[in-house]
Structure 1
Amino acid sequence: MKVTVLVENTAPQHSGLTPEHGLSLYIQYQDHNILLDAGCSQAFAQNAKVLGVDLKQVDLAVLSHGHYDHADGLRYFLEENSTCKVYARPQAGGPYFSTSTGSPRFIGIHRDIWEGHPDRFDCGEGVRQPAPGIWLVPETVHGGPFASRETNLLRKLGPDQFVPDDFVHEHSLVLEGEDGLVVFNSCSHGGIVNIVQGVREALGREVTTVVGGLHMFSLTAPSGLNCPPDYPGQVARALKEQGVRRVYTGHCTGEAAMVLLREELGDALIPLTCGLTFSL
């Protein structure tokens, strides 16, 4: 399989590519052209043109979870590609909020996308297999030392009534790679160690590669982390114990966490950036 990063928080200088706070990946797998997420604007589509990616050729699209920085670019994808279904969790269109900058602010999918294109979203519960070698796996392992460390993310129940987000709207895109399963989870809100364990249990195969953000970044903490400084190392060691050999990460992981992860993972940690391509 070949993976191309269409949009991410960073971009190489003089590349002609536009970064943004978001993530979008184009994956060529067997006979399928897969789009995982679409960032928060038209930037992913503009970058796709620069990179020679034809979004009209996408035949399988996946929305990892119901946050705007992964979903709002779908507004442009659904116009560009008139036939492809977008696989999502049924709860992806929920009322999700963040308090990272103070009072709760809406961070869910904007209504014109979710409610305006009901025929374009393919939603279902449980483990799903859209095509051979391709799975969508919801998060099934919760709690424990590797549970989500994000306390600012909420789900709205009613006027001024919020509860912690349980991330039931998040799932992993899992592909059969040459040496094991590749888990794509764009933000890993539920904790990447728990996510990998859940995929292994659901599919009965080893996970050798993880691709996506690890949600260790804090906008307000002086450390730049939403977790204790020893946590990234603990995560890295636990992933290696589960058999993970490569971690491609960026977006919501954060620079501070990247430094700490690299201390444990070395060259097995590969930063994501706009235009990066790699084969697995």
Structure 2
Amino acid sequence: MQIRIVATGSTPRERREKRWGLSFLIGESVLLDTFGLSDLFWENLCSMAEDVSRIRHVVLSHEHWDHVSGLEKFAEQRPAATVYICPHTEPSVKAWIGGMKLPVVEVDDWLEIEKDVFLSGELAGSWNGNPLWEQFLVIREQSRLSVLTGCAHPGLFPILQHVRNRFAEPLTLLMGGFHLMNSPEEEIAAAIDALLMFGVSRVAPTHCTGEPAVRLLREAFVNRFLTVEEGGVIDTAEEV
């Protein structure tokens, strides 16, 4: 399956400019997150999607602005799509989404939204010392798994353990924000050890992963490290 990188912001300069967050188009029908700048998100999405009207599912990994801001622009053009959120999403954010008149599903456990495309249900994490709930997406194909994260606030080890508790297939791709941006090197090393322990074959980090973690991941995975670039495409079916 092809994953199109609709938008991603991962550098300090992009963060200052609020050109921050991520958005992935999975196949033709599933959108993971809607970035932090709505106009840029929509412009990129229209240029990358063969037909925006084919998008039936919009998954919001969590409630932060840099993952939901483009939803309103999307809702103006594609009102029939279903939005999937965490049950613990802040009431004010739920009300904002509800005002767009989009069908909304609160995902508290594993949910298959398309054949072999699964949502994890919410996992508890934290941000700035406060609880934060997040969901992620799993693609199962050809006896292998691809895991796509928004920010991975619950932590990579709990996320991968949650996957392993549900699926037996090999974890061949981990892609998205890894939430290691402000982590000390020993914490990054422990995260990489967890990826290796769970047998992750390829990594494609972006957004909140942070430059030191990206460097160490590149060193650890070498030719199994995939560069995530806005406008690019990653094929989950490529041989490892």
Same fold judged by TM-score > 0.5?
Answer: yes
1:235 is displaced (CA, Å) by 1.3
Residue 100 of structure 1: aligned partner: none
Q: How has the CA–CA distance of structure 1 residues 47 and 212 changed in structure 2, closer, same or farther, with 3 Å as cutoff? A: same
The yes-or-no answer on 1:36 pairing with 2:32 is yes
Q: Secondary structure at the match of 1:188?
A: coil
- How do residues 139-218 of structure 1 correspond to structure 2 at under 5 angstroms? 152-153=128-129, 164-165=130-131, 167-168=132-133, 170-217=134-181
CA contact (8 A) 2:81 2:102 kept: no
Bigger radius of gyration: 1
Q: Secondary structure at the match of 2:209?
A: coil
Which deviations, in whole Å up to 9, do the C-alpha atoms of 1:191-245 show, x marking residues without a partner?
Answer: 112201111102343322111101111xxxxxxxx22212222211221221100
Residue 8 of structure 2: aligned partner: 8
Residue 131 of structure 1: aligned partner: 114
Greater CA drift, 33-42 or 2-11: 2-11
Normalised by the length of structure 2, the TM-score is 0.86
Which deviations, in whole Å up to 9, do the C-alpha atoms of 1:120-152 show, x marking residues without a partner?
Answer: 211132111223212111355x7xxxxx6x651
1:110 is displaced (CA, Å) by 8.3
Distance 2:91 2:19 in 1: 23
Q: Secondary structure at the match of 1:270?
A: coil
Q: Secondary structure at the match of 2:120?
A: strand
Q: How many residues align?
A: 230
Residue 22 of structure 1: aligned partner: 21
Distance 2:45 2:104 in 1: 22
Distance 1:51 1:204 in 2: 33
- How do residues 92-107 of structure 1 correspond to structure 2 at under 5 angstroms? 92-94=89-91
Residue type matched to 1:227 in 2? S
Is the helix fraction higher in 1 or 2? 2
Q: Secondary structure at the match of 2:21?
A: coil
Q: Secondary structure at the match of 2:89?
A: helix
Unaligned runs of 5+ in 1: 12-18, 96-108, 143-147, 154-163, 218-225
Residue 223 of structure 2: aligned partner: 267
Q: How has the CA–CA distance of structure 1 residues 64 and 92 changed in structure 2, closer, same or farther, with 3 Å as cutoff? A: same
Q: How has the CA–CA distance of structure 1 residues 182 and 35 changed in structure 2, closer, same or farther, with 3 Å as cutoff? A: same
Distance 1:6 1:188 in 2: 19
Distance 2:203 2:91 in 1: 30
Q: Secondary structure at the match of 2:216?
A: helix
Work out which of the residue numbers 43, 48, 70 in structure 2 matches 1:46. 43
Work out which of the residue numbers 76, 79, 83 in structure 2 matches 1:82. 79
Distance 1:131 1:277 in 2: 20
CA contact (8 A) 1:180 1:205 kept: yes
Residue 101 of structure 1: aligned partner: none
Residue type matched to 1:270 in 2? L
Q: How has the CA–CA distance of structure 1 residues 136 and 187 changed in structure 2, closer, same or farther, with 3 Å as cutoff? A: same
Q: Secondary structure at the match of 2:136?
A: strand
Q: How has the CA–CA distance of structure 1 residues 239 and 189 changed in structure 2, closer, same or farther, with 3 Å as cutoff? A: same
Q: Secondary structure at the match of 1:20?
A: coil
Residue 104 of structure 1: aligned partner: none
Distance 1:171 1:196 in 2: 12
Residue type matched to 1:181 in 2? L
1:119 is displaced (CA, Å) by 4.4
Q: Secondary structure at the match of 1:189?
A: coil
Which runs of structure 1 show a deviation greater than 4 angstroms over 4 or more consecutive aligned residues? none
Distance 2:41 2:50 in 1: 10
Residue type matched to 1:208 in 2? T
1:92 is displaced (CA, Å) by 2.2
Report percent identity of matched pairs. 28
Residue 14 of structure 2: aligned partner: none
